[in-house]
Structure 1
């Protein structure tokens, strides 16, 4: 989750504003079983290590618990999140963020999940959009359920990944749902009913929510729980609140 878009500035929409949204609170609540349906595999495509856990870590864990195979595709290594921090060079961040994702998936019971890493340059994903579409089309099967970023999420890496997923899912006949990440930051809650139609909530039981929160805390470079970081972290408390709810939202 790396902030490089003009829409991703400042504190963004507060969690209190989202909590006051009648639309969000009245979203249809569906069971994970309804989401997974007859899928044989859940494929989660993530622009940066942490996007998948933030947006849909609970559903990933539930899929594994129900016996659904889970594949996690990491598009970038997330190495460009702190370009002005000498203590956290891209080389160091590549290693750190991969380890953080390992730890986060372990918290979710997903240590054995299949993993694919493409190592595309963080912040430069758009240039590889066609290649990603081809790789995904080769990976996917018609009975896969794919979770991808929202195609208008406001971050160019997220949007390029989303477009590639749409292309591949269309070509292969795989089901697709989209997850917002930065959309929670900049989208006016009053515009959400039209921007995110249709959308569905999926409840997370307390024990799963605790595991997801533990998983999120493994991304220490992003929360700022590391030495040598002399700037605001990518995931301050105000941002984390959006992903610590007792439900997750998917679009489509």
Structure 2
């Protein structure tokens, strides 16, 4: 299924609009325990360091608490977020965003989790899609659950990673679910039932919600809290609100 005019633009759909969406409020609820039943690893594949924490950090923490190993794959380092910035140059961002992810994972109890950073150029994943799929295929096992970006998320890196995950998981024969990141920004809530069906909602405990909130705020280069950043951050408060709910949503 294709979507017409999917693009990330402006301030996007407000969290108030999403909270008023009858489809979102009526989503079937499942527990993390049901999600992890029958799998031996949770493999979370992220286009950029922060996407995994924003979209499913709570479930990653729940997996660890349930004794399910979590594998985190960062396809890029997210170094292209501030083009031509005088202070936050790409090499500095490559290093800092990986450190931010380390700190975020520690907030979720995942300080010692298995991590893979593939250092593919931020913004170039489409050109490396076949390589990403091949590397994922080598990493995956039949009894894994893969969490991957939504294949129509509007960011080209997200979409390419999503397609690569679909291909690798299909070839390996393992389960896969998708997470939207920028979809929350541009999808019309009145169209969500058509675009995101089936979907499931996973409630987070107050403790896990607090852990996720702390983890998100480790990404200072994205929230604008890093020293020397001028102008609008990648993740202003209006965007962060979509990921600070007491539940997470997976598609598929």
What is the TM-score with the length of structure 2 in the denominator? Answer: 0.97
| 2:203 maps to 1:173 | no
| 2:110 maps to 1:138 | no
Cα distance between partner residues in 1 of 2:207 and 2:193: 30
What SS does the aligned partner of 2:141 have?
coil
What SS does the aligned partner of 2:177 have?
strand
Cα distance between partner residues in 1 of 2:217 and 2:32: 24
| 2:93 maps to 1:93 | yes
Q: Deviations along 1:35-73, whole A, 9 cap, x unmatched? A: 111000000000000000000000000001111011000
RMSD of aligned alpha carbons: 1.0
Q: Deviations along 1:113-133, whole A, 9 cap, x unmatched? A: 100010000001001100111
Alignment of 1:202-213 (within 5 A): 202-213=202-213
Question: Structure 2 stretches of 5 or more lacking a match?
Answer: none
Question: Structure 1 stretches of 5 or more lacking a match?
Answer: none
Runs (4 or more) in structure 1 with deviation over 2 Å come to none
Q: Which residue does the alignment assign to 2:120?
A: 120
> How many residues align structurally?
248
Alignment of 1:13-28 (within 5 A): 13-28=13-28
Alignment of 1:176-195 (within 5 A): 176-195=176-195
Cα distance between partner residues in 2 of 1:6 and 1:247: 25
**CA gap 1:6/1:179 in 2 versus in 1, 3 angstroms:** closer
Cα distance between partner residues in 1 of 2:182 and 2:64: 26
Q: Which residue does the alignment assign to 1:225?
A: 225
- State the shift of 1:229 in Å: 1.1
Q: Deviations along 1:125-164, whole A, 9 cap, x unmatched? A: 0011001111111111110000000010000000000000
Q: Which residue does the alignment assign to 1:237?
A: 237
| 2:69 maps to 1:69 | yes
Cα distance between partner residues in 1 of 2:245 and 2:210: 10
